[in-house]
Each structure stands twice: as structure tokens, then as C-alpha cells.
Amino acid sequence: MRAMINLSDAAQGYFRRLLESQGGDVVGIRLSAVEPGTPRADARLEFCEPVDLRGDEWAIECQGFTLYVDSDSVPWLDAAEIDFAAHATGGQLSIRAPRIKGEAPAGNASLVERVRWMIESEINPQLASHKGRVALDSIDADGVVYLRFGGGCHGCGMADVTLKQGIEKQMMARFPEVTAVRDATDHSTGSAPYIARG
């Protein structure tokens, strides 16, 4: 598979200027995907020296330098676009990688896969503002989803409200197979609740 990554002329000029200011053994820029296939996925750019290269990277020859793409990251960074917009205070580099977060499971995927995707892509980003998160514990034969709360939601006095008025409503509206959502967390062991219980 050949990675199709589009670097604008402005981005190439920006990287070239950065590389010229580095000196030393820097041979190019390395691009990799961090936590690909998850809602937390991001692209990482860094200078690289010969010692940093494993030898299986995709090498993309640019204007005056080479962009090395980590081989494991290639499927996630295919169709990525890298641009640089100059402005009075410097400029802004942007990386758009439409495949980096993966794709939602198809409708015929298991309920576990579809629920897990919803948790990671929709519910946990909402809970992150309270430094909280949930993880799927299990789904029983009757369609009851059991979740474990973590972070600021572990031991939080509002976890029940979050579960019943937020998560359960969202899940039941999305998945007809889900009959209820229950909390499988021992909240007495929470060490940093967002809102203390009782």
C-alpha cells in the first residue's frame, strides 16, 4: 500500500525552513499516528536522525527534504493533507487525516463493538470535561449493558444521573437491543470524584 499524503507547497517550505535551522544529523521529518483507530488519535510530527529510522518507513521525497511515514501508521494517514497558513504572528500548521480515528463499526457488527465505539467516540469525550470516563464491562443476554466508571466519575455523586439521564438514554435511542444500562462500579473505592458522594 502506498500512502497518499498531500503536503502543500507552503507546508514543504515551512518544514524546509525548520530543518535548515536544526543542523546536526537531522535527515527529515517523521510522521506517525498516535493511538490510531480511537477517538484520541492524533498525528505526530518530529525531526528524525538516521538512528531514529527503522528502515521500513515510507519515504516521501519533498522539496529539499524527506518525509518519513511510520509503516504502522500508513493505513491511518492515507489521504492526509498537511498545510501551513502564514499570518502576521507566524503561522499555523494543520494536518487533516480523515482515517486516523478509524471508522464506526458496520450495522451488522456485534452489539459489543457498536456499544464500545459509541462509548469511545461520543460518551467519553463528553465525560472528559469532568476528568471522567466509562468502559464497557459486559452486556448480558437480556440486552443490559454494564459499565464501569473511572477517573472523576469513579465515586462521583452525579454518576447515577449521568448514567440514567445521559448514557442510558443515548444508548437505548441508538440501539434497540439495549434494554437498560447499569453501573458495575464500586464507587466506595473512588479516589478523586468530581462531586463527592453523600
Domains and CATH numbers, the chain: 6-96 (2.60.300.12), 111-189 (3.30.300.130)
Regions of the chain where pLDDT drops below 50: 1
How many angstroms separate the CA atoms of 126 and 19, rounded? 39
- pLDDT reported for residue 127: 87
- The strand pair at 144-151 and 58-61 is best described as unpaired
- pLDDT reported for residue 39: 73
Q: 0.75 cut: is pTM over it?
A: no
**Each residue of 16-29: pLDDT tens digit?**
999 988 877 888 99
**Sheet with 66-69, edge to edge strand ranges:** 42-48, 28-34, 66-69, 58-61
**At 90, which helix (H) or strand (E)?**
strand 90-96
- pLDDT reported for residue 38: 78
Residue 145's SS3 state is: strand
Residue 91's SS3 state is: strand
- pLDDT reported for residue 37: 82
- pLDDT reported for residue 1: 43
User: Do 21 and 14 touch, CB atoms closer than 8 A?
Assistant: no
How many angstroms separate the CA atoms of 39 and 66, rounded? 29
How many angstroms separate the CA atoms of 7 and 23, rounded? 22
- pLDDT reported for residue 27: 87
